[in-house]
A and B are shown apart, each in its own frame.
Chain A
């Protein structure tokens, strides 16, 4: 097996998503130990690091719904050699993109009696976008969420230097 010579640095993030893809990653269960033999986690909800250092691989779930999402995504693109859009929202915008036929101004006014203007709050984009609209994405991993088996297959392929390939049963489009 063409195993990497050193542990690969991996960062993960959830943008306009539901953390379901991260949950699916945890669903690889005991193989997490095998995975941790191969990788070292950088910025990730699992490490609570706030910024991303130079990484071999970035996994992003969720699409882009606000300015902060765009900034995080750009940081990942600057830091990661390989960037993967994980799950339906990252690939296509997914469920959050259902607001795209509404005017974001109307949405805000409908939700807040007084629309907050605190600079700490990220401003929403007028439409929800897939990641590939803003940065170059190297791989797309479809599914809502991609099943644990698919994540495992994909990651082990990638970590061992094989071009990732998902068989029929591993692609869930719904």
Chain B
């Protein structure tokens, strides 16, 4: 990267250290990777310690601190991708390109690895090439990708149809089906005073759609009342929970509802600046969102005196993440927005009083803000009339896995699991994972339970497992996910998720014993009791669900009820036998 190019980049970001994640992302786009001299340069120009820049560069999966080649291919490694053959396709691509999985090819041109769920579960298997998503992989597409890389076709000249992402809307409700002009919902909100709109919000009984289900009106009121010179509105679009992809579609189809909701929030609490924090995997949404923001500025829906209301100034910036699931946790997200490693903060204080730059901040999910726009349009009472007494409105479910029609289904809150299974055409499902790996695994005995905060809360993911699937594969995949995504800040989670992964790997490899099960239970308790944030607290859920509801599935994979070695001891001597040329009795060990 030339000094001039770096200078221009830093100029664009106003030499602002809170924009460090964006600066590194864009610098990497130009330079290919984040080299030590580049880190030194950036740190020097921003006036921050070098260690901080290096720490950020090392934290996010999508930042390469070593040369990564012109083409960095990452296969989405969600369990649904695996169901659709992603493993075989990945190995095929490796052999076609002559690369070893996970390693840079000797000529330094290409690498092929895996990444966590890319949010394309209903049109998987998927991969990212230099962070650009390619869905619906099959043999033909893999051959095409291999050819394009082999002939060193620049990425921007690859056929556009490779990158087409479907919206897969299967069942529309008033949110997915809404057809309103940009700013229409906002106009309704701004016709009311901030207090009057907050009252409508309270009447609607809207609860946050990100998973925790906190009352949106209470959150906004707290932020409004918290002391501070300025306030912020943040839209959490870091949709990282494996199996969830509803925000991807909402941001494409109903972006103006989301932005109307954010702006209504700014009106209500008195904020001047807002952010959309978009996960790095959804980079294909960057240009459309920037275009929509520009259009709204032009239409006076953002900027000075929004919709002619004197003194109401509000604008929204787009921030891209760089591959870190933990940044979906609101305080980790704020850290990342401030240009730091995405490590969750101590709570309390909560973001409503000490959020972005320690000012009062509302952080809500994409679907929550879109729902706010519906409330502006239809009123709080109408919204509360849908759903159940404690869970109003509708819910957009991301359905994937073994069913005839994966995609998005918008149902009133309180719909049964069975209703959704019937709608998506699932045949004899043996289980459903609701809310992603951090959620809950439901057995057929529970299919009459209802999807709402009173019964089975969900962050939106709904993954169906057909009768042929081995649920242990699912749990092992999720254990790997958590071990990879643990931010490393607290020891119980950093070490615990890895030990849990090892116990489950041993069982998966046919070397597991009852002792491994006992150890996994002990680790689960430890994770739950002593982790710093929700990632660690919920990392044991898949295993605990399996243990509780599908114990025979687990036990039939145990090799012994007592003990077996975790590795093949005789095989471990093979290297020494080779180099000594020995094959006598003492050169072997029984595998007992």
Contact = CB atoms under 8 A, between A and B. Distances in A.
A123 B582 contact: yes
A123 B567 contact: no
A117 B580 CA distance: 5
Contact of A119 (B574, B586, B589, B592): B586
A70 B569 contact: yes
B468 interface: no
B563 interface: yes
B565 A134 contact: yes
A104 B580 contact: no
Interface string A113-151: 001110110111111010011111000000000000000
Interface string A100-120: 000111001100000111011
A67 interface: yes
B577 interface: yes
B582 to A, nearest CB: 5
Contact of B584 (A103, A109, A115, A119): A119
Nearest to B592: A74
A77 to B, nearest CB: 9
Given A119-B586, A133-B567, A135-B563, A127 B579 contact: no
B573 interface: yes
A71 interface: yes
Contact of A125 (B576, B579, B581): B576
Interface residues of B, number: 25
B580 A108 contact: yes
A124 B582 CA distance: 12
A67 B574 CA distance: 11
State the majority secondary structure of interface residues on A.
mixed
Contacts of B577: 123
Contacts of B575: 103-105, 126
Given A67-B586, A74-B592, A119-B584, A124 B569 contact: no
Given A67-B586, A136-B563, A125 B572 contact: yes
Contacts of B572: 125-127, 129
Given A71-B589, A119-B586, A108 B565 contact: no
Nearest to B519: A132
Contacts of B549: none
Contacts of B565: 133-135
A67 B587 contact: yes
A123 B222 CA distance: 68
Contacts of B580: 108, 115-117, 123
A119 B567 contact: no
B384 to A, nearest CB: 53
Nearest to A134: B565
A74 B581 CA distance: 26
A127 B572 CA distance: 7
B576 A70 contact: no
A117 B577 CA distance: 9
Contacts of A116: 580
B157 interface: no
B576 A117 contact: no
B581 A129 contact: no
Nearest to A68: B586
Interface in B384-405: none
A142 to B, nearest CB: 14
Contacts of B567: 127, 129, 133
A125 B566 contact: no
Contacts of A124: 573, 576
Given A123-B580, A129-B567, A132-B566, 19 more contacts: A67-B587, A67-B589, A74-B592, A103-B575, A105-B575, A108-B576, A109-B579, A119-B585, A120-B586, A123-B576, A123-B582, A123-B587, A126-B573, A126-B574, A126-B576, A127-B572, A134-B565, A134-B569, A136-B562
15 contacts: A67-B588, A103-B575, A122-B586, A123-B582, A123-B586, A124-B573, A125-B573, A125-B576, A127-B567, A129-B567, A129-B572, A133-B567, A134-B565, A135-B563, A136-B562
Interface of A: 67, 70-71, 74, 103-105, 108-109, 115-117, 119-120, 122-127, 129, 132-136
